[in-house]
């Protein structure tokens, strides 16, 4: 006998976080009728007779379909760290992408790294610089002049500091480029989600703590600033660079191109994920999920509970992929620069 349909639930919910209202056989509720309870967790299976739901404590419950009253998918629980301020999140992110030279300016942080990456060559302008704004700007100009870099500022969109820079005449450092989104997720939830998205055949993955020649060959930005890039990428105390080579390559026998790569750095219980990339010839094979599975698993083993990453707001495919792992936008940021035209970081 085929059980009647259950509103909101079904095999389409496998892999999703759900809430299930069920009857507790043999127990009586406060009104004298059957006792019922709600269970929240990730649905792992659905058959013609029962479903299984894994709670956040790791326990697995088998629920006969005949005991289910109702249910529905619910959004993945966001990391508690989503409650931190944008300023605190920005400061924590510095730990996974450490600039080679830093200098505090009140709550702000001046950063320089030989031109490798905008983040490592801009002032993180969050909070109070500890002196009048005009004087703070003068300090910013002087710092970047000493390092022969254009004065750039990384700013939380919509913040008071952002408004102050624009009022001072600073312009978008990357005209026409979408803002970057700072996204966060629970590591445990993301690990569970990404396991279900892996391809049937997972290629062998290499884990390194140093930047390989193949990595540099796949990253034009890093190759253009080789020495600085290597120091930034390898800088954190806990860092991993995962990658894979094709099984065969006819083009460059001595330096085979990577099929994919990614990097993660753990500081405390946060992990920053960067440089997720798949070669154009290998895309649409779910290899990005292979990279993320390796990075998140490595981070979980080192005690990370909150994952964060940065993605452009117009990168629809990446946003869709990250959403499937539970990533949600915490805040957005952009780079402004002094109106005087100079060569920007790459």
- Can you give the pLDDT at residue 343? 46
- Number of residues written out for the chain: 346
In this prediction, residues 298-305 reach a mean pLDDT of: 94
- Can you give the pLDDT at residue 344? 45
Angle, CA 331 vertex, CA 326 and CA 333 arms, to 5°: 130
Would you place residue 44 in the very low, low, confident or very high pLDDT band (cuts 50, 70, 90)? confident
181-333 homologous superfamily: Gcn5-related N-acetyltransferase (GNAT) (3.40.630.30)
Report whether pLDDT(220) > 60: yes
% of the chain residues with pLDDT over 90? 67
* Least reliable range by pLDDT among 21-35, 38-52, 294-308: 21-35
What would the pLDDT profile of 235-267 be if each residue is shown by its tens digit? Answer: 999 999 999 977 654 454 456 688 899 999 999
Mean pLDDT of the chain, nearest integer: 89
- Can you give the pLDDT at residue 247? 60
- CA–CA distances in Å: residue 243 to residues 33, 123, 177, 214, 227: 58, 31, 28, 9, 20
Task: Identify the CATH class of 11-73.
Answer: mainly beta
Would you place residue 1 in the very low, low, confident or very high pLDDT band (cuts 50, 70, 90)? very low
Report whether pLDDT(179) > 80: yes
> Where do runs of H (alpha helix) occur along the chain?
86-94, 133-146, 160-167, 187-195, 213-218, 220-224, 226-233, 287-301, 316-323
- Can you give the pLDDT at residue 3? 53
Numbered ranges of CATH 2.30.30.520 in the chain:
11-73
How remote is the C-alpha of 253 from its chain's centroid? 34
* Of residues 283 and 275, more confidently modeled: 275
What would the pLDDT profile of 129-161 be if each residue is shown by its tens digit? Answer: 999 999 999 999 999 999 999 999 999 999 999
In this prediction, residues 215-225 reach a mean pLDDT of: 91
* Of residues 27 and 272, more confidently modeled: 272
- Can you give the pLDDT at residue 263? 97
φ, ψ of residue 191 in degrees (nearest 5): -65, -45
The DSSP result for 177-244, as a single string, is PPPEEEEEEEHHHHHHHHHTT--SSPPP-EEESS--HHHHHH-HHHHHTHHHHHHHHT-SSEEEEEEE
Return the closest-CA partner of residue 230 out of 281, 275, 283: 275
- Can you give the pLDDT at residue 242? 96
Numbered ranges of CATH 3.40.630.30 in the chain:
181-333
């Amino acid at each position: 006998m085929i059980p009647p349909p259950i509103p909101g639930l079904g095999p389409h919910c496998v892999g999703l976080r759900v809430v299930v209202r069920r009857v507790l056989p043999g127990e009586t509720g406060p009104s004298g009728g059957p006792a019922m309870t709600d269970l929240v967790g990730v649905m792992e299976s659905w058959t013609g007779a029962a479903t299984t739901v894994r709670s956040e404590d790791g326990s697995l419950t088998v629920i006969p379909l005949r005991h289910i009253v109702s249910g529905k998918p619910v959004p993945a629980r966001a990391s508690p760290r989503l409650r931190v301020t944008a300023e605190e999140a920005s400061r924590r992110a510095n730990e996974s992408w450490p600039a080679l030279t830093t200098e505090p300016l009140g709550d702000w942080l001046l950063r320089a790294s030989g031109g490798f990456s905008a983040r490592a060559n801009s002032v993180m302008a969050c909070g109070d610089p500890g002196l009048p704004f005009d004087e703070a700007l003068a300090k910013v100009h002087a710092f970047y002049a000493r390092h022969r870099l254009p004065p750039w500022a990384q700013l939380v969109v919509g913040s008071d500091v952002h408004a102050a820079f624009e009022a001072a005449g600073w312009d978008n450092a990357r005209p026409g480029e979408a803002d970057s989104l700072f996204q966060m997720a629970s590591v445990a939830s993301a690990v569970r989600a990404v396991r279900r998205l892996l391809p049937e055949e997972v290629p062998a993955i290499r884990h390194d703590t140093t930047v390989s020649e193949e990595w540099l060959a796949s990253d034009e930005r890093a190759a253009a600033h080789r020495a600085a890039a290597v120091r930034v990428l390898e800088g954190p105390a806990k860092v991993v660079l995962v990658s894979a080579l094709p099984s065969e390559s006819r083009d460059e026998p001595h330096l085979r191109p990577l099929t994919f790569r990614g990097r993660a750095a753990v500081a405390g219980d946060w992990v920053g994920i960067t440089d997720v990339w798949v070669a154009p010839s290998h895309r649409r094979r779910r290899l990005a999920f292979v990279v993320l599975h390796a990075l998140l698993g490595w981070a979980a083993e080192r005690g990370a509970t909150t994952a964060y990453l940065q993605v452009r707001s117009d990168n629809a495919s990446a946003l869709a992929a990250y959403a499937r792992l539970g990533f949600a936008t915490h805040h957005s940021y952009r780079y402004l620069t002094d109106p005087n035209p100079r060569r920007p970081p790459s």
